[in-house]
Amino acid sequence: MKKLATLRAGYHNRIRLQLVRLSNKGEITYPNFADGSSQTSIEIARHIATALRFDKVTERIDGQTAGSLFDMLTCEFIASAFATLAHLRPGKWDYQLRLSFCLTGTACGMHCGRSR
Protein backbone atom coordinates (compact mmCIF):
# COMPACT_ATOMS: atom_id res chain seq x y z
CA MET A 1 0.00 0.00 0.00
CA LYS A 2 3.06 2.24 0.05
CA LYS A 3 2.54 2.71 -3.69
CA LEU A 4 -0.97 4.10 -3.05
CA ALA A 5 0.40 6.50 -0.43
CA THR A 6 2.99 7.71 -2.93
CA LEU A 7 0.33 8.17 -5.62
CA ARG A 8 -1.88 10.07 -3.18
CA ALA A 9 0.98 12.36 -2.16
CA GLY A 10 1.72 13.03 -5.82
CA TYR A 11 -1.95 13.77 -6.50
CA HIS A 12 -2.08 16.27 -3.64
CA ASN A 13 1.15 17.86 -4.84
CA ARG A 14 -0.21 18.30 -8.38
CA ILE A 15 -3.38 19.88 -6.98
CA ARG A 16 -1.26 22.14 -4.77
CA LEU A 17 0.97 23.28 -7.63
CA GLN A 18 -1.51 23.48 -10.49
CA LEU A 19 -4.91 24.19 -9.01
CA VAL A 20 -5.18 25.76 -5.56
CA ARG A 21 -5.12 29.54 -5.46
CA LEU A 22 -6.22 32.19 -3.00
CA SER A 23 -9.40 34.13 -3.65
CA ASN A 24 -10.47 37.42 -2.12
CA LYS A 25 -13.88 38.68 -1.16
CA GLY A 26 -13.54 42.09 0.44
CA GLU A 27 -11.07 41.72 3.28
CA ILE A 28 -11.40 37.92 3.39
CA THR A 29 -8.80 35.71 1.69
CA TYR A 30 -9.59 32.02 1.30
CA PRO A 31 -8.67 28.98 -0.84
CA ASN A 32 -10.38 28.98 -4.23
CA PHE A 33 -12.17 25.70 -3.53
CA ALA A 34 -14.22 27.23 -0.70
CA ASP A 35 -17.66 28.76 -1.04
CA GLY A 36 -16.78 32.40 -0.42
CA SER A 37 -20.23 33.15 0.96
CA SER A 38 -20.00 30.46 3.66
CA GLN A 39 -17.77 31.02 6.68
CA THR A 40 -17.92 27.29 7.46
CA SER A 41 -16.75 26.41 3.94
CA ILE A 42 -13.93 28.95 4.19
CA GLU A 43 -12.75 27.53 7.51
CA ILE A 44 -12.87 23.94 6.25
CA ALA A 45 -10.95 24.92 3.10
CA ARG A 46 -8.34 26.74 5.17
CA HIS A 47 -7.81 23.65 7.35
CA ILE A 48 -7.49 21.43 4.27
CA ALA A 49 -5.02 23.86 2.70
CA THR A 50 -2.96 23.94 5.89
CA ALA A 51 -3.01 20.15 6.37
CA LEU A 52 -1.91 19.54 2.79
CA ARG A 53 0.57 22.45 2.88
CA PHE A 54 -0.85 24.30 -0.10
CA ASP A 55 1.09 27.36 -1.24
CA LYS A 56 -0.42 30.82 -1.07
CA VAL A 57 -0.63 31.49 -4.81
CA THR A 58 -2.75 34.50 -5.73
CA GLU A 59 -2.60 34.12 -9.53
CA ARG A 60 -6.22 33.67 -10.56
CA ILE A 61 -7.47 30.56 -12.33
CA ASP A 62 -10.87 30.57 -14.04
CA GLY A 63 -13.50 28.41 -12.32
CA GLN A 64 -14.24 26.33 -15.41
CA THR A 65 -10.54 25.77 -16.02
CA ALA A 66 -10.06 24.80 -12.38
CA GLY A 67 -12.95 22.34 -12.56
CA SER A 68 -11.63 20.71 -15.72
CA LEU A 69 -8.12 20.51 -14.28
CA PHE A 70 -9.44 18.96 -11.05
CA ASP A 71 -11.39 16.40 -13.09
CA MET A 72 -8.30 15.49 -15.11
CA LEU A 73 -5.94 15.26 -12.11
CA THR A 74 -8.45 13.14 -10.20
CA CYS A 75 -9.09 10.85 -13.16
CA GLU A 76 -5.35 10.32 -13.62
CA PHE A 77 -4.96 9.53 -9.92
CA ILE A 78 -7.83 7.02 -10.02
CA ALA A 79 -6.42 5.36 -13.15
CA SER A 80 -2.99 5.03 -11.51
CA ALA A 81 -4.43 3.80 -8.21
CA PHE A 82 -6.58 1.16 -9.91
CA ALA A 83 -3.56 0.00 -11.91
CA THR A 84 -1.76 -0.78 -8.64
CA LEU A 85 -4.77 -2.84 -7.54
CA ALA A 86 -5.05 -4.84 -10.78
CA HIS A 87 -4.15 -8.05 -8.94
CA LEU A 88 -7.34 -7.64 -6.89
CA ARG A 89 -9.66 -6.72 -9.73
CA PRO A 90 -8.15 -7.72 -13.09
CA GLY A 91 -9.66 -6.71 -16.37
CA LYS A 92 -9.81 -3.82 -18.78
CA TRP A 93 -10.64 -0.52 -17.09
CA ASP A 94 -11.56 2.61 -19.01
CA TYR A 95 -11.36 6.03 -17.35
CA GLN A 96 -13.37 8.88 -18.81
CA LEU A 97 -14.40 12.40 -17.93
CA ARG A 98 -17.85 13.87 -18.48
CA LEU A 99 -19.38 10.83 -20.08
CA SER A 100 -22.14 11.85 -22.45
CA PHE A 101 -23.87 10.45 -25.47
CA CYS A 102 -22.73 11.35 -28.95
CA LEU A 103 -25.19 11.98 -31.76
CA THR A 104 -24.85 8.33 -32.76
CA GLY A 105 -26.27 7.29 -29.38
CA THR A 106 -23.02 5.72 -28.23
CA ALA A 107 -21.20 6.81 -25.10
CA CYS A 108 -18.31 9.16 -25.67
CA GLY A 109 -16.01 11.08 -23.36
CA MET A 110 -12.53 12.40 -22.90
CA HIS A 111 -10.10 9.72 -21.75
CA CYS A 112 -7.75 10.69 -18.96
CA GLY A 113 -5.58 7.65 -18.66
CA ARG A 114 -4.77 4.21 -19.79
CA SER A 115 -7.10 1.33 -20.35
CA ARG A 116 -6.19 -1.75 -18.43
- Average pLDDT of the residues of the chain: 83
Model pLDDT, residue 100:
53
Task: Label residue 98 by pLDDT band (50, 70, 90).
Answer: low
Model pLDDT, residue 54:
86
* CB atoms closer than 10 angstroms to residue 42: 19
State how beta strands 22-25 and 28-31 pair: antiparallel
Model pLDDT, residue 111:
58
- Tell me which residue of 109, 111, 110, 108 sits closest to 79, measured CA to CA: 111
Model pLDDT, residue 42:
95
Are the beta carbons of 46 and 52 closer than 8 angstroms?
no
Give one DSSP letter per residue of 36-78, joined into a string: TT-HHHHHHHHHHHHHTT---------HHHHHHHHHHHHHHHH
pLDDT tens digit string along 55-96?
A: 888 788 888 888 888 989 998 999 899 889 888 888 887 777
6 or 99: which carries more pLDDT confidence?
A: 6
Measured at the CA of 103, the angle between CA 92 and CA 72, to 5 degrees, comes to 45
Q: Which amino acid is at 75?
A: C
| 109 has pLDDT over 60 | no
- Tell me which residue of 97, 90, 91 sits closest to 112, measured CA to CA: 97
